[in-house]
Amino acid sequence: MKKDFFAQLVRGAIDKAIKEKKLGSLENNTFQPICEIPKNTQFGDYAINVSSLAREAKIAPPVIAQNIAEFIEPQGFSVNTVAGFINFKLEKELLNSIVREIFEKKENFASANIGNGEKVNLEYVSANPTGPFHIGHGRWAALGSALANIMNYCGYNVYQEFYINDAGNQINKLARSLELRVKELKGEKVEWEDDLYPGEYLIECAKRYIASGEKENYGDFAKADMLRLQKELLEKFRTHFDCFFSELSLYKNNEVEKCVEELDKKGKLYEKDGAIWFKSSDYTDTQDRVLKKSDGANTYLTADIAYHKNKLERGFTRLINIWGADHHGYIPRMKAAIDALGYDSSCLEVLLGQLVNIIQNGEQMRMGKRKKMVTLDELVEEVGVDATRFWMLMRSIDTTIDFDIDLAKSQSDKNPVFYVQYAHARACSILRKAI
Domains of the chain: 2-94 (3.30.1360.70)
Q: Per residue in 311-321, pLDDT tens?
A: 999 999 999 99
Write down the pLDDT at residue 371.
45
The Cα-based distances of 273 to 270, 293, 424 in angstroms read 10, 9, 64
Decide: residue 13, CB within 10 A, 0-12 exposed, 13-18 middle, 19+ buried: buried
Low-confidence stretches of the chain (pLDDT < 50) are: 368-372
Write down the pLDDT at residue 368.
47
Write down the pLDDT at residue 434.
66
Task: Give the amino acid at 397.
Answer: I
Write down the pLDDT at residue 366.
60
Write down the pLDDT at residue 190.
92
- How many C-alpha atoms does 387 have within 13 Å on its Cβ side? 21
Q: In the 8-state DSSP scheme, what is residue 343?
A: S
Write down the pLDDT at residue 310.
98
Please check whether residue 68 is in contact with residue 14, taking contact to mean a CB–CB distance below 8 angstroms: yes
DSSP string over 223-272:
HHHHHHHHHHHHHHTT---SEEEEHHHHHHTTHHHHHHHHHHHTT-EEEE
